[in-house]
A and B are shown apart, each in its own frame.
Chain A
Amino acid sequence: MARFTPATRMGLSIAAAVGVYGVSFGALSTGSGLSVLQTCALSLLMFTGGSQFAFIGVIGGGGTGAAAWAAATLLGVRNGVYAMSLKTLIEPPGPLVPLMAHLTIDESIATATAQTDHDERVRGFWTAGIGIYVLWNASTLVGALAGDAIGDPRRWGLDGAAVAAFLGLLWPRLTGRDPVALAVVSALVTVIVLPVVPPGIPVLVAAGATALWWAWQQRRTAAR
């Protein structure tokens, strides 16, 4: 029998904490007009919470499939950076790379990088990745069926739940003055362009503008 190590314990507790909020994704997704099957497909195949929420958020706001695709894809860019940093830490074995790629998300990387020992990093990655995958998909199904039964998202304050869900994803990243400034700029740009461009596009305009401003700002600071 496998013994629990600090990394597996950390991976399992993160999985338990994070996996269950698939319920809120499932409920909000069917509330945004996706079918139960489409909702479950996103969790099974996309498996990156932020992008999944972005996709249904744009669709729920009346945006096109193309705008939803773009928002989800841009939000997934950070996973590429995560994958790269994990590769430098644990030298993944070739045949496992396709599977590791699928499990590369905020939490599995956080668990792996929190360890100091090579084998512990490997254990942390797999425990968190597989644990969240199983729980996230099970709880997505539960939420989707519940959301489907509720019907109109405005009942039970499900539109308020969507607001809280996005703020909850943003909050842990607001560490220090720069990310806060960036978030404020992005929110302002969104509100300004909202009435003048089609639904779904404000998110892309705001994110593009703020990310470029951020990269340029950081570059200037670094050059000094």
Chain B
Amino acid sequence: MNLWSWILLAVAAAYVIKLSGYLLPRKLLDRPVVIRLAMGLTVGLLASLTILNTVGKGQAIVLDSRLLALGAAAIALWLKAPYLVVVLVGAIAAGLGRLAGLP
């Protein structure tokens, strides 16, 4: 299947999940285990995507200027910078690392 098909399938799945919360009987979803699973999944996925984007390159682990971006973004977040500033700080840190000759 091409990328467009997967985009449309992902769009459909996202919408069905949202809609199901309104339409399904409450007792089906309103269970502590469902709520915990949803929250656990969210944290787990975001943590995995963060580290993957930091050190992953295909199936290899590569340590490069992206580590600087991770550190700089963490400091910005700790200082309560707005989201867009955090993203910019990440880009600038990686860019500066490469300017300095790091991989």
Is the Cβ of B47 less than 8 Å from the Cβ of A41?
no
> Which residues in A have their C-beta under 8 angstroms from that of B53?
57, 60-61, 159, 162-163, 166
User: With contacts defined as CB atoms under 8 Å apart, how many contacts are there between chain A and chain B in the complex?
Assistant: 319
Is the Cβ of A23 less than 8 Å from the Cβ of B84?
yes
Please tell me the number of chain B residues within 8 Å of chain A, measured between CB atoms.
Answer: 80
A60 to B49, CA, bound (A): 11
Among candidates A69, A159, A207, residue contacting B94 with C-beta atoms closer than 8 Å: A159
Is the Cβ of B15 less than 8 Å from the Cβ of A187?
no
Among candidates B26, B46, B87, residue contacting A161 with C-beta atoms closer than 8 Å: B87
**A1 interface residue (CB < 8 Å to B):** no
Jot down 9 A-B pairs with beta carbons below 8 A, ordered by A.
A77-B41, A81-B38, A84-B21, A101-B21, A160-B65, A160-B68, A164-B76, A187-B48, A211-B40
Apart from the given pairs A168-B86, A211-B44, 20 other A-B contacts in the complex at a CB distance below 8 Å: A21-B87, A42-B11, A48-B18, A69-B13, A77-B41, A78-B39, A79-B21, A84-B30, A86-B21, A165-B87, A166-B53, A167-B70, A170-B47, A194-B56, A195-B59, A202-B48, A206-B44, A212-B37, A214-B44, A218-B36
